[in-house]
Amino acid sequence: MSRLGAFLELARPQQWTKNGFVLTGLLFAHVWDDATMIAAALTATVAFCLASSAVYAYNDAIDAPEDRNHPLKRTRAVASGALGAREAVGAAILLALAALGAAGTLGAISAGIVAAYLAINVAYTRGLKRVPVIDVFIIAAGFMLRLLAGTVGIGIEPSNWLLLCGLLLTLMLGFGKRRAELEALEAEAGRHRAVLDEYSRAFLDGAVMLCAGGTIICYALYTVSSDTATLHGTTQLVLTVPWVLLGTFRYLYRLQYRGGGGDPADELLRDPLLAGSALGWVATVVWLLGA
């Protein structure tokens, strides 16, 4: 692996699809024809791409000793020896400063959201990832901060429905990640990630199903709410529910029967049906709200 390739691997650009959460507020705020708001949302997205890469670099530097014993993570830049831990930490600092600088162009609130994201992920890497349930809530918090960056951070008031659906969805993905790790690593799960010794398949399956059901119900109620119809000027958002059902059930299927679900970004890139349901949902929302 070349040094340039090693630094690129450290940044994990393939994971930037997760930062699409930042654009969700723009979708529902009816401002996709406002060039200023679009520019602000894209700047916030870039800030989170830089911030998430900083987190990955820092995490790789700290976790390198454990990663060397992991069947997949041992090929990462620091674990494989392609880069030193100090180099990874240096890259993380530069990326974090760039992220804060980009967010700072949008104002103090946006910069504060990115700073909070960086802080909770440092806390996660340094120990909170070993605390059951809290570890998943921190994963969910990272996604919720992305939502806030794309709403409050650029001057859009977030819907309570949006925040609730986002929380339930990200908790489902977080518990799904742990379920996939437990399944993939089997008897040696605790050796590779200590918190997995504190979980059982039954608990994680129950948590995933509870959050999945909550996400579907919450979103369905949102689409038929009179407040939603008044806000968006349409009663037809219910037509987007089938896309949510398809995407959720496809994710659960891959989690239970295909050894997937551990990485939402990777799942979207690998599974055409899952990606299609996401794109179908976005296209239908844009069509209905723009009609």
Give the tens place of pLDDT for each residue, 132-161: 999 999 999 999 999 999 999 998 888 888
> 262 pLDDT band (50/70/90 cuts)?
confident
> Tokens 């239908």 identify what position?
284
Task: For residue 105, give both structure tokens.
Answer: 């162009």
How much is the average pLDDT of 36-59? Answer: 94
Distance CA(215)–CA(105), nearest Å, equals 34
Distance CA(258)–CA(252), nearest Å, equals 10
pLDDT value for 169: 95
Widest CA span of the chain, in angstroms? 58
The pTM of this model reads: 0.89
Q: Which of 180, 181, 172 is nearest to 244 (CA)?
A: 172
pLDDT value for 188: 55
> 67 pLDDT band (50/70/90 cuts)?
low
> 279 pLDDT band (50/70/90 cuts)?
very high
* CATH 1.10.357.140, applies to 1-157: yes
How much is the average pLDDT of 72-85? Answer: 72
pLDDT value for 81: 67
pLDDT value for 94: 95
Question: How far, in Å, are 87, 110, 249, 261, 271 from residue 277 at the CA level?
Answer: 40, 30, 10, 15, 10
How much is the average pLDDT of 112-127? Answer: 95
How much is the average pLDDT of 249-254? Answer: 93
> Does residue 47 surpass a pLDDT of 50?
yes
**Average pLDDT of the chain to the nearest whole number:** 88
Q: Between 64 and 58, name the one with better pLDDT.
A: 58
How much is the average pLDDT of 258-275? Answer: 83
Question: Domain residues of the chain, as ranges?
Answer: 1-157, 159-291
